[in-house]
Structure 1
Amino acid sequence: MDISAGWGLVVIGSGPAGEAAAMQAAKKDLKVAIIEEQSSLGGNCTHWGTIPSKALRHQVRQVIRTQRNPLLRGILKPREIRWQDLIARTREVIDSQVQVRTDFYVRNRVTVFAGRGEILSPNEVRVDDHEGRQHLLKTDNILVATGSRPYHPEDVDFSHPRIYDSDTILTMDHTPRHILIYGAGVIGSEYACIFTGLGIRVDLVNSREHLLDFLDTEISDALSYHLREQGCTIRQGEHYKRVTADDDGVTLELESGKKLRADALLWCNGRSGNTQNIGLENVDVKANDRGQLKVNERYQTETDNLYAVGDVVGWPSLASASYDQGRFCAAAIAGDEVRQVTDVPTGIYTIPGISSVGRTEQELTEAKVPYDVGQAFFKNLARAQITGERVGMLKILFHRETLAVLGIHCFGYQAMEIVHVGQAIMRQPGENNTLEYFIDTTFNYPTMAEAYRVAAINGINRIKR
């Protein structure tokens, strides 16, 4: 066994959280090692989650836009596109991301160990690398950033070639005519849009009464309407009883008595933290029933020099937030002030997309905050008319008396991009975070960001009647 000492930080996992922590720690002059069990860097985000699903979405959006363009309509038929071809293009994006991420470690002189890491004590991590060698790393601090994986109930046979989760769907070698999606959270809703965009029949089974019920109600309702308009069948308030599969397809039996039959099943009902078999028992740290670790404001577990960030700590389980958690945690380890990730914008890559930051109408109503609403419908914007992306709206929630911006909610083209305009204004101090900024500021024309001016004027007109 190779033994090396003097490490300031050993990071287990090279997803967004682990990568950000390693880079920040290196910039703080700590000697850093990162351990990645997969054959290449990037973690589940790069190989199975965020990057591949968003790459798939982009390709499907291009297909949809081609169909809407009068000059190109009929050239490309969605039903003639093979799933395998989309995956092949997605692999190119993944490979490019791996190269970019690998260069980060080289430039910042972070040592990479390719293999499985196991915590032996609060100051020791063993690595069993892909070459069959063992390394013992003696370190001042350990950071767990192992991410998450799709949740698998024990009574569903995920080894069957027609039953998939959000990871294995990337290995599907056929194009189904009809697919069942169980779980209508963020991942399930995104894949429902991808498959309907390809002309594939989709049954989306939601265990809740409303789609993405953490969203502003109006935005959630808009997504439900749009999915149904595209041919997706949404079944609300349903719970599975049994899943059976054969050579020809999958049958999903629901507790309500319904039986749904399709070519394939995509299971998207939650995720579990990757905390198994990493040696937590050796440092008296226990994960909860979803594999998640409890941490304090420093992202510190019950063991002082053992930290955790990213999906493995639960909320908000977003790549963007995980990256910041990794940076803040490493900075605190190096002696900087303790910082927490707050005001995280949601980014849901459905088609059209959804993004929001701040409070919803239902939250403001429950808190008895005197608010009003400014709206801009994309069908009226010049940029949306030019691109043909007329579906959607921008909604600004603001205080009726102070005009302070309280929430931004967007559904439609470039929602995930333009939400940051509102986010930046909401974070301004004093009287600089009001609706008047959008009215007094000149926006490029024609752009989607112009929706802020339109919505702000709409809001002012409401309260000055």
Structure 2
Amino acid sequence: MVQFDLVVVGSGPAGRRAAIQAAKLGKKVLVIEQGKRVGGVSVHTGTIPSKTLRETALNLTGWRERGFYGRAYRVKQEISAEDLRRRLLITLDHEVEVLEHQFARNRVQHMRGKASFVDPTTLQVIKDDGESLQITGTSILLAVGTKPFRPSYMPFDGKTVIDSDELLDIQELPRSLAVIGAGVIGIEYATIFSALDTAVTLIDPKSTMLDFIDHEIVEDFTYQLRDRNMKLHLGQKAEKVEKQADGKVHITLDSGRVVIVEMVLFAAGRMGATDTLNLEAAGLTADNRGRLSVNPETFQTSVPNIYAAGDVVGFPSLASTSMEQGRIAARVAVGAIAKEPPKFFPYGIYAVPEISTCGLTEEEVKQRGIPYECGIARFRETSRGHIMGLESGLLKLIFSLKTRRLLGVHIVGEGATELVHIGQAVLNLKGTVEYFVENTFNYPTLAEAYKIAGLDASNRMGDVEEKTVTAVSV
């Protein structure tokens, strides 16, 4: 029996940040990871692989240069699955090395094995060689992440009908692909394969997608997808998926339409990876998707010494927010002060094109009854956009008419996940439209779109000197 101040189950973004934070506070910390290498889903099958795949696809296809040289332009004429995998392996090796070094220099112990509860303070760990040992922790943090939802009616075979984890191991790029599920993961992979010139069909029973994103941004995004001939079957459910003798897959929709493709990616949700933890022994219960309920301020479960953070607690399920959740949970667990993070955080969707958002959407502003105005800038209006050959891209700022404060920033287009941080800073510092109008931005840059959007909104709102603006809350 070995005693630790904090035992962390899982080494993904939440787990590793929690472990390092507790170690920096002088606590004895152990990380238990059941995978072959540390890093969790984020490093090995989720965040890092999908973003590496995206960057590789855009580079090898010459996607970013097609505004100048036409849609037929390609850097590499024949792109194989091995071309994509080669860069991925290099990236993953680097990520694992960095993480192992972080653990070593912060004196975080880590162990490979499968953990399950014996009681609220004790975990049974089965190592790969069959050795079993018990670990006790004054506090325990569950950062086990999620795994793909695999319904029994879907004929998964790892080749023609796959989930998002299996996608990374495909041997050949399909000529046609159907993606079932128009959530973030489904949309990211659908657009990446579309950039690889695979004929992509996106299927989802909901008539809309990305409902938490500002609708004007989604409309612009949807237009771009249709413009490059991606088929969107929204509001239609895949009732039957059948593999055929010729190697093709037939998908029958509830509308009666049949979609015929070489490969099907099922990406309709994920499950919390809690089924092997023996939660009952600790007095915990997961919901029907394997997720755990926590106090949103402390990430404490219903059992006082057990915490949970990351994707296993549900939305927003971002690597960035998971890291912060893990850090806060660790500080609370070891008795340190944990400050509440800023109210607004950025949400990034690494599709082609990227989408990123921070703050209130126009729909949320309307629901709250806040008088507002919007400013719009299109990337093609910027000199940098012309230099890059951008034909699309949109930045939208929403301001309060009463206080002139920025309420939300929403971007679709090249570099959206980087550009959003300017708006995030102004938003959390309670800046106004005058910041964008009066400040100088590097020229030529895409960031100049902020000034264009700020001027657009300011012109619609009227000169601030004509009004008495009071510093009241929105």
8 Å Cα contact 1:208-1:238 kept in structure 2: yes
Cα distance in 1 for partners of 2:356, 2:416 equals 6
8 Å Cα contact 1:9-1:31 kept in structure 2: yes
Task: Report the 3-state secondary structure (helix = DSSP H, G, I; strand = E; otherwise coil) of the residue aligned with 2:223.
Answer: helix
- Residues 411-450 of structure 1: CA deviation (Å, up to 9, x unaligned): 1111101111111111115xxx111111121111111111
- The yes-or-no answer on 1:314 pairing with 2:314 is yes
Percent identity at matched positions? 39
Cα distance in 1 for partners of 2:409, 2:66 equals 31
Q: Aligned residue for 2:35?
A: 38
Q: Aligned residue for 1:288?
A: 287
Match of 1:26 among 23, 26, 35: 23
- The yes-or-no answer on 1:439 pairing with 2:440 is no
Is 438-447 or 8-17 further displaced after alignment? 438-447
8 Å Cα contact 2:67-2:391 kept in structure 1: no
8 Å Cα contact 1:113-1:127 kept in structure 2: no
Do the aligned partners of residues 75 and 361 (structure 1) sit closer, same or farther apart at CA in structure 2, a change above 3 Å counting?
A: closer
Task: Report the 3-state secondary structure (helix = DSSP H, G, I; strand = E; otherwise coil) of the residue aligned with 1:357.
Answer: strand
1:134 CA drift (Å): 2.0
8 Å Cα contact 1:84-1:175 kept in structure 2: no
Match of 1:105 among 99, 103, 111: 103
Is 333-342 or 361-370 further displaced after alignment? 333-342
Cα distance in 2 for partners of 1:236, 1:406 equals 30
Q: Which amino acid aligns with 1:272?
A: M
Q: Which amino acid aligns with 1:93?
A: T
Q: Aligned residue for 2:228?
A: 230
Q: Aligned residue for 2:131?
A: 133
- Residues 327-354 of structure 1: CA deviation (Å, up to 9, x unaligned): 0111111223344554221100111111
Q: Aligned residue for 2:402?
A: 401
1:131 CA drift (Å): 2.7
Q: Aligned residue for 2:165?
A: 167
Q: Aligned residue for 2:141?
A: 143
Cα distance in 2 for partners of 1:35, 1:455 equals 48
Q: Which residues in structure 2 correspond to 1:211-230 (within 5 Å)?
A: 211-230=209-228
8 Å Cα contact 1:359-1:407 kept in structure 2: yes
Do the aligned partners of residues 379 and 334 (structure 1) sit closer, same or farther apart at CA in structure 2, a change above 3 Å counting?
A: same
Is 193-202 or 206-215 further displaced after alignment? 206-215
Is 56-65 or 141-150 further displaced after alignment? 56-65
- Residues 97-134 of structure 1: CA deviation (Å, up to 9, x unaligned): 11111111111101110111112111111211123222
8 Å Cα contact 1:54-1:349 kept in structure 2: yes
Cα distance in 2 for partners of 1:223, 1:83 equals 27
1:69 CA drift (Å): 4.5
1:67 CA drift (Å): 4.0
Structure 2 gap ranges (5+): 464-474
Task: Report the 3-state secondary structure (helix = DSSP H, G, I; strand = E; otherwise coil) of the residue aligned with 1:294.
Answer: coil
8 Å Cα contact 1:325-1:340 kept in structure 2: no
- Residues 147-185 of structure 1: CA deviation (Å, up to 9, x unaligned): 001111111122352111111011111111111000011
Do the aligned partners of residues 44 and 214 (structure 1) sit closer, same or farther apart at CA in structure 2, a change above 3 Å counting?
A: same
8 Å Cα contact 2:177-2:263 kept in structure 1: yes
8 Å Cα contact 1:67-1:76 kept in structure 2: no
Q: Aligned residue for 2:472?
A: none
8 Å Cα contact 1:211-1:221 kept in structure 2: no
Q: Aligned residue for 1:122?
A: 120
Do the aligned partners of residues 108 and 92 (structure 1) sit closer, same or farther apart at CA in structure 2, a change above 3 Å counting?
A: same
Under a length normalisation based on structure 1, what TM-score does the superposition of the two structures give? 0.95
Q: Aligned residue for 2:415?
A: 414
8 Å Cα contact 2:395-2:409 kept in structure 1: yes
Q: Which amino acid aligns with 1:274?
A: A
Match of 2:176 among 152, 175, 178: 178
Q: Which residues in structure 2 correspond to 1:443-462 (within 5 Å)?
A: 443-462=441-460
Task: Report the 3-state secondary structure (helix = DSSP H, G, I; strand = E; otherwise coil) of the residue aligned with 1:127.
Answer: strand
Structure 1 gap ranges (5+): none
Task: Report the 3-state secondary structure (helix = DSSP H, G, I; strand = E; otherwise coil) of the residue aligned with 1:243.
Answer: strand
8 Å Cα contact 2:5-2:334 kept in structure 1: no
1:401 CA drift (Å): 2.4
Cα distance in 2 for partners of 1:214, 1:178 equals 29
Cα distance in 1 for partners of 2:257, 2:71 equals 41
Cα distance in 1 for partners of 2:407, 2:262 equals 45
CA RMSD of aligned residues (A): 1.7
1:73 CA drift (Å): 7.2
Q: Which residues in structure 2 correspond to 1:245-256 (within 5 Å)?
A: 245-247=243-245, 248-256=247-255
Q: Aligned residue for 1:335?
A: 335
1:68 CA drift (Å): 4.2
Cα distance in 2 for partners of 1:146, 1:389 equals 40
Q: Aligned residue for 1:16?
A: 13
**Count of residue pairs the alignment pairs up:** 458
Q: Aligned residue for 1:204?
A: 202
- The yes-or-no answer on 1:299 pairing with 2:321 is no
The structure 1 segments of at least 4 consecutive aligned residues displaced by more than 6 Å after TM superposition are none
Cα distance in 1 for partners of 2:229, 2:70 equals 24
Task: Report the 3-state secondary structure (helix = DSSP H, G, I; strand = E; otherwise coil) of the residue aligned with 1:8.
Answer: strand
Q: Aligned residue for 2:381?
A: 380
Task: Report the 3-state secondary structure (helix = DSSP H, G, I; strand = E; otherwise coil) of the residue aligned with 2:113.
Answer: strand
Q: Aligned residue for 2:347?
A: 346
Task: Report the 3-state secondary structure (helix = DSSP H, G, I; strand = E; otherwise coil) of the residue aligned with 1:140.
Answer: strand
Task: Report the 3-state secondary structure (helix = DSSP H, G, I; strand = E; otherwise coil) of the residue aligned with 1:158.
Answer: coil
